Structure 1
Amino acid sequence: MSTMLDRLWRFRPVGAPGGAGPVGVPEDARSGVPAELAGVFVALDATIAECDEVRAHAGHEAAGMVAAARTDAAALVAAARTQAVGERAEIAAAIQARGDAEVARTRATATEDTGDLRQAGSQRMDDFVALVLDRLRADVQGLVR
């Protein structure tokens, strides 16, 4: 117990007021600093060993978590690739359907326009045939006279 009291005695208030003295704790000249701290470090040996054990256990856990995360990531990538193939097919089908609908609308418009052109052409053709026949008759009558 006297060793502990000696250590505590070193931290006692020192001297009367006066000029500034050295800062710090006075050294125990009898045993020296290494001997004084040896007990502290011996007491920490168990804690250091426990920390090493915790660190090793955490390293193993982390390695397991990383392996599980890699497996999960590979499964997610595979699922995403499979899903992407299906979605590409759906999108291609939707684009094809839109294109087919546009082609059908264009074809319907063209068919309607063709019918309108035929009707207009037919009406104009009758007028042209009548005009040509009138001119031919006029020419024939001019020759016959």
Structure 2
Amino acid sequence: MRKLDQRGAAAFEFCLVGMFFFTLMFVIFDLGRYAITVQSLRALADAGARAIMINCYTDAAIQRQSPTGCSGDPLSASQKQAIAPFLFNGGLSPTLSASGSSPIVVTASQPSFTMFMPIWGTTFNAPSAATKIPSPV
């Protein structure tokens, strides 16, 4: 009986299995990077809310008034980088803003963030996190 030629069978099997394996591996890396970014944005929004409570709410709470003038960016760039250094990788810079009067909403976002894998489209681009500060009155 003649023996069949098996040359290249292992390479073909590797191509079939390797394509799915590497795709799965890069999807895990991409989603992990997104999760770390969102968690860092939450930490940054919490730190911004803490700074607003210390700077704006202290006097308002003592006088039993609603806080005023608590908008804008409460943290400097060096403070942001100390709180969430991962957000500054690759030349990116997050934005932090506070708006509203009661409750004040502190929002941290990474507008120039994009996923590596093209399968996501624009679903996960520009992640953000927000923290609400209730009125002290």
Instruction: Report the TM-score when normalising by structure 2.
Output: 0.39
Structure with higher Rg: it is 1
Instruction: Report the TM-score when normalising by structure 1.
Output: 0.37
Structure whose residues are more often helix by fraction = 1
